[in-house]
Amino acid sequence: MKILTTNFLKCAVKACDKSNDNFPLRYSGSECELVQDPSIEFNEEFMTNIMDRIDWDAVLSVAGDLGNTNLPSTKPLLNTAEQLSEDDLAVLRDLHVLLVQTSIKEGTMTCRNCGHVYYIKNSIPNLLLPPHLA
C-alpha cells in the first residue's frame, strides 16, 4: 500500500465518522515492513496535482508513525503560477520518494477512535469489518 493511500483512508466503522480521530489511522512503525520501488519515475505535474489533494497534517502524522520527522510542519506552498523553484522541486522529489515510491508491504493500522486494527497484507489493506462493527 503506497504511503499516499494512508492520506485517503479513515476508519471504516460508521460510528467513528462522528469523531475527528478516525483519520488518519495510526500505523505501527515497528511492525510495518516498508518497501521502495525506485522504478516509479518522478513527474512534476503529477506531484503538483497530488499536493492539492493531500492533507498535510495526516502526512506528518503517518510519517511520524513510521519514524520520519524531517518534514516541514506546514504544507509547502508551491509557486505553481510560474516555473517551480529549485526548492519546490526538491520538496516534491522528497515527497515522491515518501508517498509514491514507498509502500507498506506488511503492517497494521489502528483507528484512534475505536481502536479497531486493520491489517495490510502483501501491500493490500484490508478494511473489512466484523459483524459487530458493521
Site for other proteins, rule CB under 8 A: 1-2, 4-5, 8-14, 17, 23, 37, 39-41, 43, 45-46, 49-50, 53, 55, 100, 116-117, 119, 121-134
Q: How far is the CB of 129 from other proteins (least distance, A)?
A: 5
Q: How far is the CB of 62 from other proteins (least distance, A)?
A: 13
Q: Cell numbers of 115, please?
A: 481502536
**Of the two residues 81 and 134, which places its CB atom closer to other proteins in the complex?**
134
Exposed/middle/buried for residue 86 (C-beta within 10 Å: 0-12, 13-18, 19+)? exposed
* 13 touches 111 (CB < 8 A): yes
Q: How far is the CB of 23 from other proteins (least distance, A)?
A: 5
Q: How far is the CB of 98 from other proteins (least distance, A)?
A: 14
Closest among 93, 94, 125, 95 to 111, alpha carbons compared: 125
**Of the two residues 53 and 69, which places its CB atom closer to other proteins in the complex?**
53
Determine the Cα–Cα distance for residues 119 and 109; give it in Å rounded to an integer: 6
Our CA dihedral for 110, 115, 116, 117, rounded to 10 degrees, sits at 40
**Of the two residues 71 and 127, which places its CB atom closer to other proteins in the complex?**
127
**Of the two residues 39 and 70, which places its CB atom closer to other proteins in the complex?**
39
